[in-house]
Amino acid sequence: MASRVLILYAGGTIGMARADDGYRPMTGFEDVLRRLLREQVAAVLPDFDVVALPEPIDSANLQPSHWTGLARELVVRWQSYDGFVVLHGTDTMAYSASALSFMLRGADKPVIFTGAQIPLGEPDSDALGNLLGALTLAGRHGIPEICLYFSGRLLRGNRSTKLKSEAFDAFESPNYPHLADVGADIALYADALLAPATRAFVVPQFDAEAVAVLPVYPGISARIVDAITGSPRVRGLVLRTYGVGNAPDAQQAFMDSLARATGRGLVVLNTTQCVSGHVIQGTYATGAALDRIGVLPGGDMTLEAAFAKLHFVLATNSDADVVRRALGESLCGEVS
C-alpha cells in the first residue's frame, strides 16, 4: 500500500512571491505546489494532500501560540497519514521543530519541517529540492521523530539550528549526528534515531511572556537582569553564557540580581553562546558560582531547544521541583 503524507503549509519564504515592498505570501500557493509536485514524474513520491493554515505565518512573526496551532493541525489528522511535511519559514523553523518535539513526544510517524531560502517560483530556488527530499523521507521511511530537512540533511528537530542566513545549507545539528543524508541515494542512520516510545501528546497553551533570553556580554549590569526578570509573567530565563557556562561572577551586583530571581522561583537555564559544546558549570569558578545560586545547566542544548523546552515545561507544570527535574532530563533526545 502506498504511503500517504500530509503537507501542511504554515508559511515562509517557500510560498512567497515578489511584491512592491518585498516578498509576501503567494496567492494560490497550494495549487501551485500540487501542480509542480505532480509534474515530478521521475520522482517516486508518496500520495499526498496539501492543507494550508488560514493565515500563513511570516517566520519572523512567529509566536509560541503558533506552536499550539501547528500541533493541533497534526494531531487531528494523525491517524489519517503515514507522515507529515510542515512547510515553515527558515528564521524560526528550528524553534518550531523543537517545540513540536516536546508536544508530540512518542511520535510513531515522521514529522519533517522544511522550507526554502528562495521562493518556489523563483529561478534557482532550493524549494523543490527540499520539498522532494522531505516528502520522500516522510513517505518511505519509518522515522519516529520530529525532524528538519534542508539541503540534503535530515536533522533531529530539537538539535537543529540555523547557522547561515543566505546559503542553501543553512541548517546543521552541531551536537548530534545527522539522521539521514540524501544524495543519489538515501543514507538513513538508524542508530541515531530515537527508540520507539509510548505516544504522549500534550498540546498546551503558551504564555508568550513566560520565557525570556539573556545573553551575557562584557559590562552587563544588574539593571538589565532586573528589568528582564522583574515582570511577574516571566517564569523562566534562558541564560546565554561564555564557553562551558561561565558568567561574570566578579560583578557581584549581577550575580545578586540572578540570585534574587532564582530565589523568587524563576527558573534559569544556562546555555552556551558557542555553536557546539556543553555547559559544565563546575569546570571554572565562574560557572560554579551559578550552581550556588540555583541556575540549571543546559548541557548541549541549542538555544532553540532550550527556549522551547522551558516554555513547554512551564506550560505543563506548576510545581517548581517538577519543572527543574524535567529540565535536567532528556525528554526527547534534545540533550546528551
How many whole angstroms separate alpha carbon 216 and alpha carbon 272?
10
Q: Which three cell numbers stand for residue 295?
A: 541556575
Show the cell assigned to 107.
511520535
| Bridge partners of residue 239, in order along the sequence | 214, 270
**What single string gives the DSSP state of each residue in 129-185?**
HHHHHHHHHHHHS---SEEEEETTEEEEGGG-EE--SSSS--EE-TTS--SEEESSS
User: Which DSSP symbol is given to 246?
Assistant: B
d(CA 298, CA 281): 9
Spatial distance between the Cα atoms of 10 and 59, rounded to a whole number of angstroms: 9
DSSP H or E segment with residue 7: strand 4-9
CA atoms within 13 A on the CB side of 15: 30
Tracing cell 528538519 back to the chain, one arrives at 148
In the structure, how many helices (H) and strands (E) does the chain have?
Answer: 9, 18
- The C-alpha cell at 44 is 517516486
Q: How far apart are CA 310 and CA 299, in angstroms?
A: 14
Phi/psi at 29 (nearest 5 deg)?
-60, -40
Q: Catalytic: which of 13, 90, 161, 286?
A: 13
The reply to whether 283 belongs to the active site is no
Question: Where in the sequence numbering do the catalytic residues fall?
Answer: 13
